Amino acid sequence: MSNAEIPAEHLDVILKAGLRVPDHGALNPWRIKVIKGDSLKYIDENIIVKEFLNQNPKADEVSIDRESKRLQRASVVIAVLSCPIENSKIPEWEMRLSSGAVCMNILSCAQFLNYAAQWLTEWYAYNDNLLKYLGGDIKKDKISGFIYLGHKKEEPTERKRPDPNNIISFV
């Protein structure tokens, strides 16, 4: 994935696709945080690598170097936060699923536009300080994923896919 800039009009289409998702009760139980430009480096150096070192004080140089460039692998990283509405008659589970749909629509739209796009969580999706920095409430919100977007350097190799017979059955 190359981190050359993604045109603003494409990013706009991708982000709006993320909002066109099934949402029981129209609660909008998600937030989208777009991380690009200097913010990628800022978060890498001021949050991710610091949190990594807190958890791994004896980390070697290779790991520290990797953790200090996590977000900078992409041109844009879209963090999708699941922010369930409390005391709603809509089950929380459905709000969480809707947040997954936000991630998937962003991913599908970006791939349709021929960008390299990947949905990752990695350890820092579960880090409270990063969640707080992104505006989440650590008591109830979760990071559903980081969608990494960039320009393709090469076509991705296809992974092994499940045998439909193991997954699909007709009832």
Chain residues that interact with ligand FMN, rule: CB under 6 A = 118-122, 145, 159
Q: In which order are the strands placed within the sheet that holds 76-82?
A: 30-36, 76-82, 142-150, 116-120
**Residue 124 CB neighbours (<10 A):** 22
Distances from the Cα of 86 to the Cαs of 42, 51, 92, 138, in angstroms? 32, 29, 8, 14
Residue among 88 and 111 whose Cβ is closer to ligand FMN: 111
The minimum distance between CB 19 and ligand FMN, in angstroms, equals 19
> Are 37 and 111 a contacting pair, CB within 8 Å?
no
Smallest distance from ligand FMN to CB 171, Å: 26
Residue closer to ligand FMN by CB (options 86, 158) is 158
Cβ nearer to ligand FMN, comparing 10 with 96? 96
Closest distance to ligand FMN from the beta carbon of 31 (Å): 17
What lies within 8 Å, CB to CB, of 52 at 6+ separation is: 59, 63, 64, 67, 123, 124
DSSP 8-state assignment for residue 44: I
In angstroms, the CA 34 to CA 104 distance is: 16
In angstroms, give the least distance from the CB of 154 to ligand FMN. Answer: 14
d(Cα 33, Cα 17) in Å, to the nearest integer? Answer: 14
CB of 50 to ligand FMN, least distance (A): 20
